[in-house]
Structure 1
Amino acid sequence: MARVPDLMQAALAQAKGEPLELVQVSTPRPGAGEVLVRVAASAVNPLDTKILAGLGDHARQPLPAILGMDMAGVVAAVGKDTTAFREGDAVYGMAGGVGGHPGSLAQFIAADARLLAHKPTNLTMREAAAVPLVFITAWEGLVDRAAVRAGQRVLVQGGAGGVGQMALQIASARGARTFGAGSPSARAAIERLGARFVDKAEAPAEVVARETGGEGFDIIFDTAGGASLDAAFLMVRRFGHVVSALGWGAHALAPLSFRAASYSGVFTLLPLLTGEGRTHHGEILAEAATLAEAGELAPALDPRRFTLGTVNDAYRAIETGAARGKLVVDLSEETGS
């Protein structure tokens, strides 16, 4: 293994609203239960830009800080009492960037080994880095909360988004009949995943009548909140389940109650914020690797390439809605492997 340098490059968020700054900082050392990962690729998520803009209080990430939650890389050193990984292992995970933990927009990250899994062998570093946050969110909603199973009708609202695409692939892999709601421009992305496209502007009653014979959907995974979540309460079947990863707004629960249906919220950051449930995040990513290696899971990446020096361009692409797939920052020349 290459020697771990004393200093590393990182993109530092100095203050709210200011561009990230390329700096040199001390390289972290892994503590007990941690591994030091040489980061090959770091994905950019909308929450990262919200934290920088001062709009992500729920992420509990005071500035200055190194942002970035998702990463893939190679274990460079192993801390005390860490047995799950060895130096040289290719790993991936959602390992920092919130809760006061330094993130993945740096050459190295000291990560809790429980949050990591071995990288899927058939995904590049860039592809693997794009998976953790969105896959964990989708898995917690569909599998942990709603127990999706074969034969069910599953509607994903925002089916062309990062979480939505993962949710459609998980539901399909488990034998469910998948439907993805979005704008007409999202149709190709939704149908590429084998799901039936639903125009989000269509009246809920019309969707239910045409797609389910008036019964409603067994599971609805909402990724947008607001009016989208209200529509979900009108489209779920009796005794069905609505899951939302973004439950903002005020909502009338009567439509849900009249169907004797249930609702679950998903807050993927909790293990990083509280320390509770970290082992399960690693387990979920091991499931993702199994699906990916079976050809049942593939992330959609924006083709543009970014580095630590151009990461502000990636942030602007997120803020302006210009991203077409997950944006990934390259931190080494090995991201295609």
Structure 2
Amino acid sequence: MRVITQHKLGGPEVLTIEDAPAPDPLPTEVLVRVKAIGLNPLEARLRAGEFPLIGKPPFILGWDISGVVEAAQTWRFRPGDEAFGMPLFPRAANGYAEVVSAPALHLVRKPPSLSHVEASALPVVGLTAWQGLVDLGSVVEGDRVLVHGGGGGVGHVAVQIAKALGAYVIATASGSKRQFVEELGADEVIDYTEVDFAEVVHDIDVVLDTLGGDTVARSLGVLRPGGHLVTAVAEEDSELVAKFEAAGMRFSGVAVDPDPVALRRLVELVEQGRLRVHVQETFPFDRVADAHRLLDSGHLQGKLVLTV
């Protein structure tokens, strides 16, 4: 099989395609012939050495995969089943490859309503948004939810999940993404290049932050008493935690983990027509460096995907 690996840290040019032996699935694992690979901003940071999550090179990036089961050491899948998921995160899953061995419990069956491209784009962003809004944020019908970065990977899925939960959803986004975010169902879209959200937003029950930086601290003032800020990108800074608690608010960081139950709930929303994952662009496997250059540029609308 072919894999995309890197032997040193750096820019997109360090990503190289090499031949490697196919993995052997262990008991409870399945061997997946990959059809599509979702790309995430975290992988660009790992490639560049900004975040040493999986150690030093050489390593193979990637977690979001969708494909066809070739072999199964488990009763959960049979050869020929179409499956997708986010195996092993945050450990290396070697997802940038033509064949991946993954724990069966970290995958779910791909429904006909999702293409492999769409399925591969969903797990990391979908589970991050679900765990942030549902598991941590406990969003219920009637809540007021603010999503920072509503046009991005996690953000555009979070807007739709919050609406499906019955929340009133306000999203921040650049003006170029306003129409896109409105079409996702946001009740209000704030162009952060023109308007300071902290001056116009109030009485928020849950803030989901996908931006980090000073956005986190500035969001304290928009929460109602007892409100909750959940960040998908910032660390759980002890000073910020103390500041939020002193003000009668809660502050949490969501570190996404594999969750087949939540992934099936996301599939249900897709099949109900209440959730769609937007893929900005696809790249063939051998153009991974070009895909990473676009990933490095930031300000993406939805996700990027490699096709295999």
CA 1:38–1:297 in structure 2 vs 1: closer, same or farther (change >3 Å)? same
1:267 aligned to 2:255? Answer: yes
CA 1:132–1:148 in structure 2 vs 1: closer, same or farther (change >3 Å)? same
Q: Which residue of 2 aligns with 1:93?
A: 85
CA distance in 1, matches of 2:274, 2:134: 16
Q: Which residue of 2 aligns with 1:74?
A: 68
Q: In the TM superposition, what is the alpha-carbon distance from 1:144 to its structure 2 partner?
A: 0.3
Q: 2:113 aligns with which of 115, 122, 125?
A: 122
1:83 aligned to 2:75? Answer: yes
Q: Which residue of 1 aligns with 2:234?
A: 247
Question: Partner of 1:122: helix, strand, or coil?
Answer: coil
Q: 1:327 aligns with which of 292, 296, 304?
A: 304
CA distance in 1, matches of 2:297, 2:23: 33
Single out whichever of 159-168 and 245-254 deviates more from structure 2: 245-254
1:15 aligned to 2:8? Answer: yes
CA 1:62–1:98 in structure 2 vs 1: closer, same or farther (change >3 Å)? farther
Q: Which residue of 2 aligns with 1:103?
A: 94
CA 1:198–1:322 in structure 2 vs 1: closer, same or farther (change >3 Å)? closer
Q: In the TM superposition, what is the alpha-carbon distance from 1:323 to its structure 2 partner?
A: 4.2
CA distance in 1, matches of 2:296, 2:198: 34
Q: Which residue of 1 aligns with 2:217?
A: 230
CA distance in 1, matches of 2:207, 2:198: 15
Amino acid at match of 2:307: D
Amino acid at match of 1:87: P
CA distance in 2, matches of 1:248, 1:183: 24
Gaps of 5+ in 1: 1-7, 272-277, 332-337
1:178 aligned to 2:155? Answer: no
Amino acid at match of 1:41: A
Question: Partner of 1:221: helix, strand, or coil?
Answer: strand
CA distance in 2, matches of 1:16, 1:181: 33
Question: Partner of 2:283: helix, strand, or coil?
Answer: coil
Q: Which residue of 2 aligns with 1:297?
A: 275
* Cα distance per residue 1:178-201 (max 9 Å; x no partner): 110122222122111111102335
Single out whichever of 124-133 and 176-185 deviates more from structure 2: 176-185
Q: In the TM superposition, what is the alpha-carbon distance from 1:255 to its structure 2 partner?
A: 6.0
Single out whichever of 167-176 and 318-327 deviates more from structure 2: 318-327
1:50-65 superposed matches below 5 A:
50-57=45-52, 59-65=53-59
CA 1:20–1:204 in structure 2 vs 1: closer, same or farther (change >3 Å)? closer
Q: Which residue of 2 aligns with 1:275?
A: none
Q: In the TM superposition, what is the alpha-carbon distance from 1:252 to its structure 2 partner?
A: 4.7
Tell me, yes or no, if the aligned pair for 1:225 and 1:244 is still in contact at 8 Å: yes
Tell me, yes or no, if the aligned pair for 1:65 and 1:102 is still in contact at 8 Å: no
Tell me, yes or no, if the aligned pair for 2:93 and 2:102 is still in contact at 8 Å: no
Question: Partner of 1:88: helix, strand, or coil?
Answer: coil
Amino acid at match of 1:198: I
The percent identity for this pair of structures is 37
Gaps of 5+ in 2: none
* Cα distance per residue 1:57-93 (max 9 Å; x no partner): 1x224321221110101111001xx222111111111
* Cα distance per residue 1:284-331 (max 9 Å; x no partner): 11111111111111011113x322211111011111237443111111
CA distance in 1, matches of 2:42, 2:48: 10
* Cα distance per residue 1:131-173 (max 9 Å; x no partner): 0000111111100011111011111011111111111111111
Q: Which residue of 2 aligns with 1:316?
A: 293
Say how many residue pairs are matched. 303
Q: Which residue of 2 aligns with 1:37?
A: 32
Amino acid at match of 2:143: Q
Q: TM-score, normalised by structure 1?
A: 0.85
Q: 2:260 aligns with which of 274, 282, 288?
A: 282
CA 1:221–1:97 in structure 2 vs 1: closer, same or farther (change >3 Å)? closer
Root-mean-square deviation (CA), in Å? 1.9
Q: In the TM superposition, what is the alpha-carbon distance from 1:258 to its structure 2 partner?
A: 5.1
CA distance in 1, matches of 2:59, 2:19: 13
CA 1:174–1:322 in structure 2 vs 1: closer, same or farther (change >3 Å)? closer
Tell me, yes or no, if the aligned pair for 1:226 and 1:249 is still in contact at 8 Å: no
1:157 aligned to 2:148? Answer: yes
